[in-house]
Amino acid sequence: MSTALYALRRWGRRPLIRVAAFSLGGVAAALASAALAPMVPADLGASVGADAVDQILSVLATSMLPVATFSLSTIVQAYGGATSTVTPRAVTLLMRDTRAQTAVASFIGAFVYSVVGLIALKTHFYGSQGRVILFGLTLLVLASVVATLVRWIDTLSHLGRVGETIDAIEAAAGDALRRRAEAPCLGGLPWRPAPPGAERIVAAATGYIQHVDAARLEALAGPRGLTLHLSVLPGAFVHPGRLLVEVGGAVDSDLQARIAAAFVVGDRRSFDDDPRFGIIVLAEVAQRALSPAVNDPGTAVDVIGTLVRVLAAWDARRTAAPEAPAYPHLHVPGLSADDLFADAFEPIARAGAADPTIGLRVQKALAALADLGGPDVRAAARGQADLALLRAEAALSHEADRLRLRAAHAGRDEATSGPAPG
């Protein structure tokens, strides 16, 4: 994805865009009645009086604004609830929810349509034939508002709930992991050290790498016979002077600036191209659930199961990655299974070390991943299971709990070690 398309995609998710589009659509629909008036026979225009349309528009104008205000307040409360009970990092995903955006935008658009229609009707802008078009459009708007209200009531029943938020994080993390699995090195070759004397291109701002335009880097490097050895991936924290990429070949200052511009730096991490961030946020949800203030181990258990699904899907999709790189002039670090498993399970094992239920769930989850995964996944699962066992043994006060945990850990070893030789 190009840098411009990435920026446009992020901009298009803002609620402002949808609300503005529906509002402009309402104005256009209200004024279109006058333009379409010649299509209506003159005798039919006399059958629809101004009062028939006036009353419907008045009802829309007086009801849609309070409904939109109530909806906005409900959304804000849902965001606040997610911040306090799940994690503040999940609010950005809730703000992308097109169902909520469409509902609010529809109500505001209907309000704008009705106000513009009333003003035009009172100034005799339509005429008798235009009123027929306005009446038909008003009935369509009314039907659309009723359908939106029905869907909105269903959305409100679970908006901002813990399970709904976990599902949203899982979807975002799974999508980022799927795309990274299909292009393990962003479409380039595996990383290797740059040749001696390679030109260093460093960051000019402080923040997190949110996006790397690999296609643009290939377009800059390929025709010039350059090789680019990336040192950062989306999610890396950079500052002025931090190495971004080393270039094998001669580059001038203009080309250096164009290469640096392919790295999008933002204030915060983003779910789009940063699969580790989605895993970190899922683990954060479990950590908060295990805190003394919340004390909700069931949510932590739910998150552990979610992590198993996401990581297992990532490992399975890696086998479908294309063998031929799309960008052969790029050398990019891969996504490490050790890093993913550390992001996923270390925080949960640390926060739930004193809870035998969480300890058993972590051991079973890691055993499942070890059974499903390849060699690097099995090694990462073993390492995290060993570390989780050490943490739990140090925190558990009863020997019976420690014995159960050791048994689960031993069962995991037996399940993943294969048949005994001979």
Which tokens is 268 given? 């915060």
Distance of CA 347 to the CA centre of its chain: 21
CB distance 46 to 52 below 8 Å: no
Helices marked H in 196-252: 214-221
420 pLDDT band, cuts 50/70/90, is: very low
Using only C-alpha atoms, what is the Rg of the chain? 28
> By mean pLDDT, which of 274-278, 291-295, 337-341 is the weakest?
291-295
pLDDT recorded at residue 78: 81
pLDDT recorded at residue 58: 87
185-266 is classed CATH 3.20.20.70: no
CB distance 227 to 248 below 8 Å: yes
pLDDT digits (tens, 9 = 90+) for 230-242: 999 999 999 999 9
**Domain limits, the chain:** 3-160, 185-266, 274-322+335-416
Q: Residue 177: name the closest of 340, 300, 331 by CA.
A: 340
pLDDT over 50 at 8, yes or no? yes
One-letter identity of residue 350: R
Summarize the confidence of residues 10-37 as an average pLDDT. 80
pLDDT recorded at residue 47: 56
pLDDT digits (tens, 9 = 90+) for 296-313: 999 999 999 999 999 999
pLDDT over 80 at 20, yes or no? yes
Q: Residue 384: name the closest of 367, 407, 408 by CA.
A: 367
pLDDT recorded at residue 46: 54
43 pLDDT band, cuts 50/70/90, is: low
242: three-class secondary structure by DSSP: coil
pLDDT recorded at residue 303: 95
Question: What's this model's pTM, rounded to 2 decimal places?
Answer: 0.82
> By mean pLDDT, which of 7-11, 93-97, 211-215, 326-330 is the weakest?
7-11
pLDDT digits (tens, 9 = 90+) for 44-74: 555 555 566 778 888 888 888 889 888 888 8
CB distance 142 to 60 below 8 Å: yes
pLDDT recorded at residue 156: 81
DSSP H/E element including 225: none
> By mean pLDDT, which of 91-100, 171-180, 245-254 is the weakest?
91-100
d(CA 225, CA 46): 75
pLDDT recorded at residue 356: 92
Summarize the confidence of residues 104-130 as an average pLDDT. 83
Which tokens is 310 given? 């996401």
d(CA 157, CA 146): 17
Mean pLDDT of the chain: 85
419 pLDDT band, cuts 50/70/90, is: very low
pLDDT over 60 at 417, yes or no? no
Strands (E) in 140-197, as ranges, are 189-190
